[in-house]
Amino acid sequence: MPRRYWYVIITYLIMQFSTIPVAFVVLRFYPDYYTEVIIYWSIFSFSAALLLTLYFMKPDMQQRADPEAASTSGVIGWSILGVFLALFTQMVAASIETYVLGIEPGSENTLGIMEIVRSNLIFALIPTIIAPILEEIIFRKIIFGSFYKRMNFFFAALLSALIFGIIHMDPAHLLMYASMGLVFAYLYVKTKRILVPILVHAGMNTMVVIAQLSIDIEQLERMLEDMQMIFLQLF
C-alpha cells in the first residue's frame, strides 16, 4: 500500500477520535456550550480531513482513467441504478435484522446524526457530502482496492464492508452497514470509477436526511419572519 494511503487512513482515524479530547475539555471548562462546540468541531474536523485526503490523493487523481472505466453517461446511469440497488439491499438487510435476528429497527447512529441535524442544519453537510467522499476513498478505493489485489472480489468486498460497518460503531446494525459496503464495492469494480459509489453513498444519505428531517411549521414561519425583518432593515 502506498505511503500516501496510510496518511489518509491516519488522518481519518485522527478525525474520528479527535472529538474525545475536545469533548473532555468542553465538559470540564465550558459544559453549557457542549453541543454547539461538538457540532462545529465535527464540521471543522471532517472538512479538514477531506482537504488533507484530497491533497494526499492528488497523484491518484492525476492518473489516467482505466480504459474500461465508465463514461460520463455510464457514471450517471450507474449512479441512478446504484441508488435503487442500495435501497433494495438495505431493505433486505433490515428485514433480516428485524425478522430473523430480532433486532429493533432504527439505527442509533442515524438517529443521533439526525438529532444533531435538526439542531443545526449546517451539520447536514457531513452525512450528505463530506462523509460519503471520505468513506468511499478510504473504504473502497484504499482498503477494498488493496484487498482486491490479493484476493477475489467476494472476500475483498466482505472484509472491507465489515470494517466499514464496524467503524460506524453501531454493532446491532452491522449487517446493514456491511451490505451497503458490498454494494458500493460492486459499483466501484463495475464502473472502475470511485465517483460512482461516492454519488450513490451521498444520494442514499441525502434521502435519509430528507426523509427523517421534519421542520416544525411554526419554527419555519418564525425563520421566514426573521428573514423578512432583516431584509427590511437592510433596505
CB 8 within 8 A of CB 136: no
CB 4 within 8 A of CB 85: no
Report how far residue 72's alpha carbon sits from residue 139's, in angstroms, rounded to the nearest whole number. 23
Report how far residue 123's alpha carbon sits from residue 116's, in angstroms, rounded to the nearest whole number. 7
| C-beta atoms surrounding 59 within 10 Å | 9
Q: Which residues, other chains included, contact 176 with Cβ-Cβ below 8 Å and sequence gap of 6+?
A: 90, 93, 94, 97, 107, 165
Mapping DSSP to helix (H, G, I), strand (E, B) and coil, where does residue 105 land? Answer: coil
Phi, psi (deg, nearest 5) at residue 185: -65, -40
Q: Which residue has the cell 452525512?
A: 127
CB 234 within 8 A of CB 228: no
DSSP state of 64: P
The catalytic site residues sit at 135, 168
Q: Please, what's the b/e burial string for 66-86 (b: 16 or more CB within 10 A of its CB; e: otherwise)?
A: eeeebeeeebeebbeebbebb
